[in-house]
Amino acid sequence: MKKAIFFFLLANFLLSNAGYVHGEEYEKIEISHGMYEKAVNAKYGEPVLSEKIESKFWPIPQTKALYRIGESDYMILHFFSRRVKKITILNGLDLEEATAVFEEEAGQQKPAYLMAQMKILDEEVFSEYAKKASEIVKEYGGEYLIRSKKIEPLEGGWDPERVVVIRFDTLGDLKAWLRSPEYEAIKPLREKSASSKAIMIKG
């Protein structure tokens, strides 16, 4: 009985001292620390994603959930004893990007890959592009897994001249590299020297 009372009082103490808030839209949401999970679901609907947080030390239930709160806005709520303990607001993201943040916080983030097939039109200009691109990939935490002309077609009529595969730790890292001002500056070199097709793959 004493143990139960202790954890009840501790839970209330932690909730009363809760809080990290990120994002610019916090003032616009109707969520407060200590709010019950059922009340949140009644306001914003069921979460897009949720995960139970296992703890050997805390016998009190803990979960984390991702909610959509606008066209391109999401929030991640941490529930402690089914009440809001931590609020994180994510602004200007699509579902894929919000999911990536959610998984990264949970330590579940999977790597992401960019795969491209290329036909080289100007070897000299492409070599200049490839050298600069390699430096930017490294700067953003990427790693080239494949850069090869040694390709053996199997089926389906796919016969690329050259294939490139780049690995990043997260999809966010890949997109940060792809949208970076450094990479934007050298894209004209690639477009001038090669025809290419590319896809992003979440591992």
Domain coordinates of the chain in residue numbers?
A: 18-105, 112-202
Listed range (99-108, 128-137, 194-203) with the worst mean pLDDT: 99-108
Whether this model's pTM surpasses 0.85: no
From residue 40, alpha-carbon distances to 26, 49, 131, 155 in Å are 15, 14, 51, 52
Per-residue pLDDT tens digits for 43-64: 899 999 888 877 666 567 788 9
The pLDDT score that the predictor gives to residue 144 is 96
Angle at 146 between CA 143 and CA 147, to 5 degrees: 105
Contact call for residues 74 and 67 (beta carbons, < 8 A): yes
Per-residue pLDDT tens digits for 162-171: 999 999 988 8
The pLDDT score that the predictor gives to residue 10 is 43
The pLDDT score that the predictor gives to residue 55 is 64
The pLDDT score that the predictor gives to residue 202 is 80
18-105 and 112-202 in the same fold: no
**Backbone angles phi and psi of 72, in degrees to 5:** -135, 30
Contact call for residues 60 and 70 (beta carbons, < 8 A): no
Contact call for residues 83 and 13 (beta carbons, < 8 A): no
Please name the residues in contact with 70: beta carbons below 8 A apart, sequence gap of 6 or more.
25
CATH fold label, 112-202? Alpha-Beta Plaits (3.30.70)
Q: Are strands 162-168 and 112-120 parallel, antiparallel or unpaired?
A: antiparallel
Beta bridge partner(s), residue 197? 117
CATH fold label, 18-105? Beta-lactamase Inhibitory Protein; Chain:B, domain 1 (3.30.1450)
CA 190 to CA 198: how far, in whole Å? 12
Per-residue pLDDT tens digits for 126-171: 999 999 999 999 999 999 999 999 999 998 888 899 999 999 988 8
